[in-house]
């Protein structure tokens, strides 16, 4: 997202494209983590299971934060014009 730092030079439209791409990638990652969580639910009997879920949770939280940031940033760009 270093390119956003130079957003004034890029222009708001180019920044929107970057933000939508970042949001799409985060949504894709969130979907992957949710699919992994569902797969892990089929075999919760291993001693590693709680730790796997902690790791999946971290990824889900990170992806949700990236989505929220992208939404917030897109809204902020809308206020500039």
Q: How many domains does the chain have?
A: 1
The separation between the first and the last C-alpha atoms of the chain, rounded to the nearest angstrom, is: 21
pLDDT of 18-42, one tens digit each? 999 999 999 999 999 999 999 998 8
Using DSSP's 3-state secondary structure scheme, residue 75 falls into helix
Domain enclosing residue 37, as ranges = 2-80
| Entry pTM | 0.89
Q: Does the pLDDT at position 81 exceed 70?
A: no
Q: At 52, is the pLDDT very low, low, confident or very high (cuts 50, 70, 90)?
A: very high
Q: What is the Rg, in whole angstroms, of the alpha carbon atoms belonging to the chain?
A: 17
């Amino acid at each position: 997202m270093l390119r956003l730092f130079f957003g004034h030079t890029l222009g708001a439209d180019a920044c929107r494209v970057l933000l939508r791409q970042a949001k799409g990638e985060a949504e894709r990652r969130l979907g992957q983590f949710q699919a992994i969580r569902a797969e892990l639910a089929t075999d919760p009997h291993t001693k590693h299971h709680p730790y796997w879920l902690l790791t999946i949770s971290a990824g889900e939280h990170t992806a949700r934060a990236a989505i929220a940031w992208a939404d917030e940033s897109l809204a902020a760009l809308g206020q500039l014009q």
